[in-house]
Structure 1
Amino acid sequence: MTRFLACIALALTLAGCAVTAPRTADTAAVTFIVVRHAEKVDASRDPDLSPAGHARAQALAASLGERELAAAYATEFKRTSQTLAPSAEARGMAITPYPAGQPATEFAARLRARHPRGAVLIAGHSNTVPDIVAALCACTTAPIPDHEYDRLSIIRIGADGRARLDVTRYGAASPAP
């Protein structure tokens, strides 16, 4: 019963994130795609991705398909850049590092200023992604539990500055806690 109520609360929280922009991607001036890093090999400070994490990084690249990216950003930790590596390599682009400790509002403002158009891929951490997403869409977002790796947050900002958040899943389902 508790799990059911938690799912209902999460669904209501995510439903409240949609802002009234048209539902077609064609109206988006810029799209920010934000993910948490994929599964890591251990709990050390700067671990590599596990085999499941590498598979998830490949699944991210596959989920993006042929979508052009204007930029890719990852924190200074290996697991975030490894998560974006297949997507960036497929497009022949470098991954731009950003400090994990940078306040989300500052990072979001920098992203919006640097990227008025196109699609931007961002990898962060369970304790930073919700704040980055919230700062980009000016909405409330649900926290990311430690066991969750499959959330894909897509923020579309129209030419009028209005934002819309869509939250989907990619790759294998995250394991239950």
Structure 2
Amino acid sequence: MTTSLNRFLCLLFVAAALALSGCASTPSADGATFVVVRHAEKATDDPEDPQLSEAGLRRAQRLAEVLADAPVVAIYATEFKRTRQTAQPTADRRHIPVDTYFSRGPAAESAARWRRDHDHGTVLIVGHSNTVPDLVAALSGQPATPMPETEYDRLTRIHVGADGRVRVEITRY
């Protein structure tokens, strides 16, 4: 009787361990949230690839504060200094790298890759006034409002549920 009981308990333990290990790699039922912003205010130090201004550096810190409680799993910025500097405070808080995407690449291709690669957590994407609306539209499947050159504070959250439903929320930061 003891051998049968031990065998049963061992099988029960193995089954529970396998079930729990499967849970660790299973995506969240909540889905993924893509946070898309334009880079913060830029300086005038370089007409081709300027850094952030003092105001821009403060806004980048504010972005990190806004996302402090979000489960950020990835960060993407274009090849330009200003987008990388906007993303960096969030990356520093999370100890994750800022991955580069090509600013002039097709928004639909980038969005498809991000949606394929990230089915849970929060993904920060930093772009430009002329690319953010296309990225938002490609990620959400909904039209996006154009962004004027003077707008730096729009933060768009695109939540893609595990069921595929999309919810878009626009705030300011």
Instruction: Return structure 1 stretches of 4+ with deviation > 2 angstroms.
Output: none
> What is the aligned partner in structure 2 of residue 93 from structure 1?
96
Greater C-alpha Rg:
2
Aligned Cα RMSD in Å?
1.2
Point out where structure 1 has 5 or more consecutive residues left out of the alignment: 1-25, 171-177
Q: Which residue of 2 aligns with 1:114?
A: 117
**1:39 & 1:58 partners in 2: Cα distance?**
12
Aligned counterparts, 1:19-168, within 5 A: 28-42=30-44, 44-168=47-171
- Using the TM superposition, give the Cα deviation of residue 92 of structure 1 relative to its aligned residue in structure 2, in angstroms: 0.6
What is the rounded CA distance, in whole Å, between the counterparts of 1:106 and 1:67 in structure 2? 25
CA distance in 1 between partners of 2:29 and 2:142 (Å): 19
Structure 2, unaligned runs of 5 or more? 1-27
For residues 127-161 of structure 1, the C-alpha deviation after alignment (integer angstroms, 9 at most, x for no partner) is 00000000101001100100000000000001111
Q: Which residue of the partner structure matches residue 23 of structure 1?
A: none
* Structure 2 equivalent of residue 169 of structure 1: 172
In structure 2, how many angstroms separate the alpha carbons of the residues matched to 1:140 and 1:28?
A: 23
Q: CA deviation at 1:66?
A: 2.4
Greater helix content: 2
Alignment correspondent of 2:20: none
The CA deviation string for residues 7-31 of structure 1, in whole angstroms up to 9 with x for no partner, is xxxxxxxxxxxxxxxxxxx963000
Q: What code does the residue aligned with 1:74 have?
A: A
Q: Which structure ranks higher in relative contact order (CA pairs < 8 Å, sequence separation ≥ 6)? A: 1
The one-letter amino acid paired with 2:147 is I
Q: Percent identity?
A: 53
CA distance in structure 2 between the aligned counterparts of 1:86 and 1:110, rounded to whole angstroms: 24
Aligned length in residues: 145
CA distance in structure 1 between the partners assigned to 2:40 and 2:33 by the alignment: 21
Q: Partners in 1 of 2:55 and 2:142 — Cα distance?
A: 31
SS at match of 2:31: strand
Q: 65-74 or 50-59, which moves further after superposition?
A: 65-74
